[in-house]
Amino acid sequence: MQKIIFLNSLVLIIIFLIFYFNSKKSNNSNDHFSKEEYYIEDNLERYLKYYKQNENKSFSDIVREINCNLDYQFYNGVERSNSLDKILILVNKHYTLDKEFEGIDLVKVDDKFAYYDKEYYMNKEAYENFIKMWLDANLEGCDFGIYSAYRSYDRQVFLYNNYVAVDGAEKADTYSARAGSSEHQTGLAIDLKSRTKKTDYFETTKEYDWLLKNSYKYGFILRYKENTEYLTGYQFEPWHYRYCGVECATYIYENNITFEEYYEYFVKNK
Ligand SMILES: [Zn+2]
């Protein structure tokens, strides 16, 4: 009898200890997450859940990845982009635009800045800053032209379908946006080509070097950087610049984060 009582007590003590250490562990992880620079309180449950599935990742990686919504697959759990965010609007594989969305405050780009003999439209504020940037770059011997700016939803349908026909959907998804998830539909994104060096490898040009060091001063960011594909859903695109204003671009430049992280912490969360 005594033996049974002893065993029962022992089982109870073990159960208590398991609960105690588990709750301590989860309290510890709460503390760790809340000390992270880009911690968002509303995301805490998602951090904890993701942490359980990825215990080898650091707390800052967990915060970064959840803030980029990586607990959802691309094109799964899609929300509408918020047009009230204006130049800070986020459009990607989690936040998408309607077919009816036709850019933000578009103006025609002067032929002098166009790479091909085509008509381009872009956001007015982005365009004004682009001209300043272009003139300053020009003074330092750089010359680049725009070869893509605003693109409509229907144009994106056409492009994406063509890429799928050539490469298949899986590959096309790494470099082309499905309609509604391209930030070209906002008029805030531009693709650039060098006019001093004819090459498809923009990253080998002096224009690219100049933009890398200076574009943030005019409110433009290199949107899809190297080694951020898992966060943004797009491969490295040295030619693709996104206007988000000087304050945002400077922060992103100085802190080396993605626009996804900036948006979730400074725009959506405020
Ligand atoms: Zn682009």
Residue 72 lies in a domain: no
Q: What share of the chain is helix, strand, coil (3-state, %, to 5)?
A: 55, 10, 35
Return the exposure string of 104-118: e unless at least 16 CB atoms fall within 10 Å of the residue's CB, then b.
bebbebeeebbbeee
62 and 169: one domain?
no
Contact in structure between 38 and 63 (CB atoms under 8 Å): yes
Predicted local distance difference test score (pLDDT) of residue 166? 96
Provide the 3-class DSSP secondary structure of residue 147: strand
Say if 264 falls within a structural domain: yes
210 shares a domain with 93: yes
How many angstroms does the Cα of residue 258 sit away from the middle of ligand 1?
A: 16
Q: Are residues 17 and 93 in the same domain?
A: no
Q: Which two tokens stand for residue 21?
A: 């250490």
Ligand 1 center from residue 11 Cα (angstroms): 62
Amino acid making up residue 170: E
200 is a domain residue:
yes
Residue that terminates a domain, selected from 67, 88, 121: 67
Residues 26 and 100 in one domain: no
> Distance between CA atoms of 204 and 206, rounded to whole angstroms?
7
The answer as to whether 254 is a domain residue is yes
Residues 149 and 250 in one domain: yes
234/144 same-domain check: yes
DSSP code, position 108: E
Examine the domain organization and report whether 41 and 96 are in the same domain.
no
Q: What is the token pair recorded at 24?
A: 């301590």
Q: Is residue 193 classed as helix, strand or coil in its secondary structure?
A: strand
CA of 60 to the centre of ligand 1 (A): 29
Task: Find the 182 Cα to ligand 1 centroid distance in Å.
Answer: 8
Structural domains of the chain, count = 2
CA of residue 151 to ligand 1 center, whole Å = 10
pLDDT number for residue 250: 98
What is the Å distance from ligand 1's center to 179 Cα? 13
Q: How far is the CA of 48 from the centre of ligand 1 (A)?
A: 35
Residue pair 220/241 in contact (Cβ under 8 Å)? The answer is yes
Residue 103 carries which DSSP code?
-
Distance 203 CA to ligand 1 centre (A): 14
- Residue ending a domain, choose from 20, 41, 67: 67
Q: Tell how strand 189-194 and strand 240-243 pair up.
A: antiparallel
244 CA distance to ligand 1 middle (Å): 15
- Over its length of 270 residues, how does the chain's per-residue pLDDT go in tens digits? 677 777 777 777 777 666 665 555 556 778 889 999 999 999 999 999 999 999 999 999 999 999 999 999 999 878 999 999 999 999 999 999 999 999 999 999 999 999 988 999 999 999 999 999 999 999 999 999 999 999 999 999 999 999 999 999 999 988 899 999 999 999 999 999 999 999 999 999 999 999 999 999 999 999 999 999 999 999 999 999 999 999 999 999 999 999 999 999 999 977
- Mapped onto helix, strand or coil, the DSSP state of residue 158 is helix
This prediction has a pTM of 0.88
The answer to whether residues 62 and 104 belong to one domain is no
Asked if 245 contacts 255 with a C-beta cutoff of 8 angstroms, the reply is no
Q: Same structural domain for residues 60 and 161?
A: no
Residues 6+ apart with CB under 8 A from 66: 43, 46, 47, 50
What is the C-alpha separation between 64 and 68, in angstroms, rounded?
6
Domain carrying residue 16: 2-67
Q: Which chain residues have CB less than 5 Å from ligand 1, an ion?
A: 191, 240
Query: Among 24, 42, 67, which residue terminates a domain?
Result: 67
Q: Is residue 47 helix, strand or coil?
A: helix
Asked if 88 and 18 sit in the same domain, the reply is no
Which class for 177: exposed (0-12), middle (13-18), buried (19 or more C-beta within 10 A)?
buried
* Contact call for residues 144 and 134 (beta carbons, < 8 A): yes
Look up residue 36 and give its DSSP letter: S
Q: Which of 180, 190, 159 is nearest to 100 (CA)?
A: 180
Please report whether residue 74 resides in a domain. no
CATH number of the domain that residue 262 is part of? 3.30.1380.10
Question: Do 83 and 46 fall within a single domain?
Answer: no
